[in-house]
Amino acid sequence: MKGAAPPSSRQLLRVEDRVTFLHLERCTISRDSNAITATDQRGTVHVPAATLSAVLLGPGTRVTHHAMMLLAQCGVTVVWVGEQGVRYYAHGSSLARSTRLLEAQADAVSNTRKRLAVARRMYEMRFPDEVVSGLTMQQLRGREGARVRSIYRLHSERTGVDWKRRDYDPEAFTDSDAINQALSAAHSCLYGVVHAVIVSLGCSPGLGFVHTGHSRALVYDMADLYKAQCTIPIAFDTVADDPPDITGEVRRAVRDALREGDILKRCVRDLRDLLLPGDETELDIDVIQLWDDRAGAVAAGVSYGDEVDW
């Protein structure tokens, strides 16, 4: 928009205060002032861009340059997804002012002792009734597998939905049974929201602590913290109700659960606690510094010519 100035960081909602995600498909996405618009044969809907955390663009969407510019200025993560919202294609980067969390993440991932400590804290966040301070990664995986299997069995017995195992093929979504389709759809929504939080805080989605070797390893790590409470029970409840559109019902239920459970706030808090435990320093500071092997960081934009010993 000619003459529309980009919003400053102080004008934007903090990521934990935003709407979790907006799923759009088969529409044209454009911009009207500081709102994005979604238009189809039924009409046009306006959504204030600064209130969004993630926008999931499904099949049949067209998006204008002005819309993407506004979403980028507002720090909104845009994720291109496939049919039913379960296949991830690409994402657009959001605003991140500080690298403090990213540097802490890289430091912890690169140190075996620190990485194991983070993995243990992640397990304790999921299952606070267990103490795992002395367990190895192999022991953690064994315990995690047993606990997750018991969660699936519990919800199968609670809802009467038949459960065999987690079995799905991203390339053949409809070949899975109803409960696996529901789980895939629910997890996909959660992944999009967690991805939005991670990049909004300036972290790398690819540097995971439990998962590794994938561009979204940390996304899977963080999403696992909330599946037992959020997406797994929703998937079983939805399949038990036998709706005509399972994936659509799942997406709407996950959207409501993420809002009611304050998952955005929890994810922000959990990620900070994992990487910078006890540190409450403001992260949204737009300051560029220079690295120094002795001082750690020094001010940029300053002439240091007198310090050089020619």
- The answer on whether 211 is annotated among ligand-binding residues is yes
Contact (Cβ atoms closer than 8 angstroms) between residue 21 and residue 190: no
Q: What are phi and psi of 230, to 5 degrees?
A: -110, -75
- Put the strands of the sheet holding 35-40 in their side by side order: 43-48, 35-40, 28-32, 62-63
CA distance 51 to 59: 23
CA distance 104 to 207: 11
Beta pairing partners, 19: 52
CA distance 92 to 306: 42
Helices (H), the chain: 65-73, 100-109, 112-126, 137-159, 178-200, 217-223, 231-241, 246-260, 263-275
Grouping H, G, I as helix, E, B as strand and the rest as coil, residue 189 is helix
- The answer on whether 224 is annotated among ligand-binding residues is yes
Distance from chain centroid for Cα 16: 12
Residue 194: name the closest of 177, 173, 211, 172 by CA.
Answer: 211
Enter the tokens of residue 80: 């291109």
Residue bearing tokens 């910078």? 276
Grouping H, G, I as helix, E, B as strand and the rest as coil, residue 7 is coil
Beta pairing partners, 81: 88
- The answer on whether 65 is annotated among ligand-binding residues is no
Which residues does the annotation place in the binding site?
Answer: 144, 211, 224
Which residue numbers belong to the known binding site for Mn(2+)? 144, 211, 224
